[in-house]
Each structure stands twice: as C-alpha cells, then as structure tokens.
Amino acid sequence: MKKNVLKFFALALVAAALFCGCSKKSAPDAYGVYSDFDSALSAAQKSGKKILLFFTKIDDGGLNEKVVDKVLHASDYNELFGGEFETCRIDYSRERFSRKSEGFNEAQNERDMRAAVIYGAESTPSVLILTKQGYVICNITYLPVENPQDLSKIIELDRESINGMEALLAELDAASGLDRVRKIDELFEQTKANYRYQLRELSDQVIKLDKKNESGLVGKFLLARASTKAMDCYVRREPEKAADCYLEPLKSKFLSVEEKQRSYFAAAYIVGKDSPTIENSEKIVSYLKSAIELDETSPLAERCRFLLERQEKILANQIETEAKKAEEAQASSENSAE
C-alpha cells in the first residue's frame, strides 16, 4: 500500500483559524455516503448507528480509486452497510484545496483538515470505525478491497472490538456518580492515546462528578483535558498559549507528584517546539527544574536532568550570542557617530 501521509493538511490546519460558523448540513449521495463529517455525525446521533469514516486521496489513484469506485460507489454498498453504519468519506486530493479549483470551499476545507488532525489521518485509503458519538473503535489502514463484501469481511475481523465498545457505552449510559467516573476511565484506557481528543467532554464530566477526588482519577483527567486544550490552541493559531494549558492543572490539589512532574515536562516540551528565543529557553529551564525538585529520584526527573543540562548550554550560547550582537551594534553606532 502506498502511504500518503497528510502532513500538508496537518500543517495547513495549524496555520488556519478554526471555522466557527455553523456548517450547513449536507445530504448523503446516491450511495448513502456523506462528504461532510458534521452531517454524518449528526445523522449518527439521530439514527443511533455507528460511523464508517473513510479518508481518501483520489488523485493518488490505486487503492484510493478502488475503494471509491468498487466499494463506496457499488450499487449494493448502502444495502450492505446502511443498516448498521452512517458513512462519510473525506477526500484530501490536492485540487480541492486550490483556490483556483471549481467549487472551492474554504470553510469546508478547514473542517476536513481538522478532522484529519483530530482523527490522526496518516495514510489513504483508510477507514475508522466510530461510535455514534464519534469515539474511535478501531482503525483499518490497509484496504485491499474489490467490493463491499471484501470490506465487510475486514470489518468483521474487528467485530469483537465493536461489540465490546457498544457494551461499554451502554454501561456508561446507565451509570451515574462515581460509577460513571470509573466507566469513563475504562473507556479512556480502552481508547488509544492518539484518539482520546474525542473524549474531552467525558474528561470534563469526571472533573465535575468527582469534586472531592474520591476516585483518585481527577488528576489524570485534568492532564487529559490539558492535552486537548493545548491542541485547541494550535487549531486557533495560538501556539504560545499551549504550554499554559499544562501549567493550569498545577493549581489543583488533586495532582500527584508524578502528575505535576508530567505537567511541567509537557510544558517544557511544548515551549521547546516554539521559536528558540532566550525567553523560551529560560522557561524550559524553569519548568525542568520545577519538575526535578518535586521528586529528584523519579525516572522522569532523571530525564529532566539530562534535558536541563543540554538546555542550559543552549541558553548560555544564546546569551553569549546576543551579547556579541549588542557589542557589535554599539561599536557600529560609535563608528557612525565619529
């Protein structure tokens, strides 16, 4: 399978403002396939069906064309899958993102790029099996299919995971109080880390339901929420605020020492991805020192010490370089005056 990493779209999303207007709901095509994820999600929440979310890049041909022409556009596709799933296909062909292309829709493009990022679309064609809420059940990244029946066989290989997720969500819906908190944690642990963004509202529920931290899980979900808030900062073109998302939970008395260390470490890591200024280097040094001071014997503290030593050298070089620039500027100014 030819990999089609969607880095262009991920970078474009970081550079694009999140479209805040209400999207127009679109109808499925003649085969029962939506081209707008918001519409498919809305339909799933009404029908109670799960979602098949396809990522394609049709201008790459090959398996992309097969999935569209022989599977999604097969006459019996909807008959085979329509009873259980709502289907959405998002295509990331280059042409549709060109302002010169006919029917260019910037708002729709931004929503689709956002879907690519939050659902971790790394290759095409691929398909995610989602719950009606948009939670990820599993990801199928290899689709050597010639017809809908082939796709059905591949999906059936994940039937145990599908049934298990549905059973867990039924238990979650029936749970309340601390029982609901524990079920949310079970769902969180069952979900791969790169798909936990979709659980952000459930993280908020844990924090609200367990105000005294009787479950011992509040710190964990404060960090989970910090992660999604940091991602939202990038989506809103506010990367400079992302590190603060990890510093905010430090105010809570429910964070363990380990969780506080992880907060400082995450903040340092995010700032390290920003522009290499003296100010940012000083922040990184400060965050790493704070993490180490919390527990000097932890494995994370050892890693922080290694990074701190390197960052202090970088900071020293930056200060020296800036000092030389200042001296040269002063000398140049004095020579000009003479």
Q: If 0-12 CB within 10 Å is exposed, 13-18 middle and 19+ buried, where does residue 41 land? A: buried
- Return phi, psi of residue 259, to 5°: -65, -35
Reading the block at residue 81, the tokens are: 């899958």
pLDDT (tens place) for every residue of the chain, 338 residues total = 333 334 434 443 443 333 333 455 678 998 999 999 999 999 999 999 999 999 999 888 889 999 999 999 999 999 999 999 999 999 988 777 777 777 777 877 788 888 888 888 878 999 999 999 999 999 998 889 999 999 999 999 999 999 999 999 999 999 999 999 999 999 999 999 989 999 999 999 999 999 999 999 999 999 999 999 998 898 788 888 999 999 999 999 999 999 999 999 999 999 998 889 999 999 999 999 999 999 999 999 999 999 999 999 999 999 999 999 988 888 877 777 66
Cβ neighbours for 137, distance < 8 A, ≥ 6 positions apart: 50, 128, 129, 130, 131, 158, 161, 162, 165
Q: Judge contact between 187 and 202, C-beta under 8 A.
A: yes
How far apart are the C-alpha atoms of 76 and 61, rounded to whole Å?
22
Three-state SS letters, the chain: CCCCCCHHHHHHHHCCCCCCCCCCCCCCCCCCEECCHHHHHHHHHHHCCEEEEEEECHHHCCHHHHHHHHHHCCCCHHHHHCCCEEEEEEECCHHHHCCCCCCCCHHHHHHHHHHHHHCCCCCCCEEEEECCCCCEEEEECCCCCCCHHHHHHHHHCCHHHHHHHHHHHHHHHHCCHHHHHHHHHHHHHHCCHHHHHHHHHHHHHHHHHCCCCCCCCHHHHHHHHHHHHHHHHHHCCCHHHHHHHHHHHHHCCCCCHHHHHHHHHHHHHHHHCCCCCHHHHHHHHHHHHHHHHHCCCCHHHHHHHHHHHHHHHHHHHHHHHHHHHHHHHHHHHHHHHC
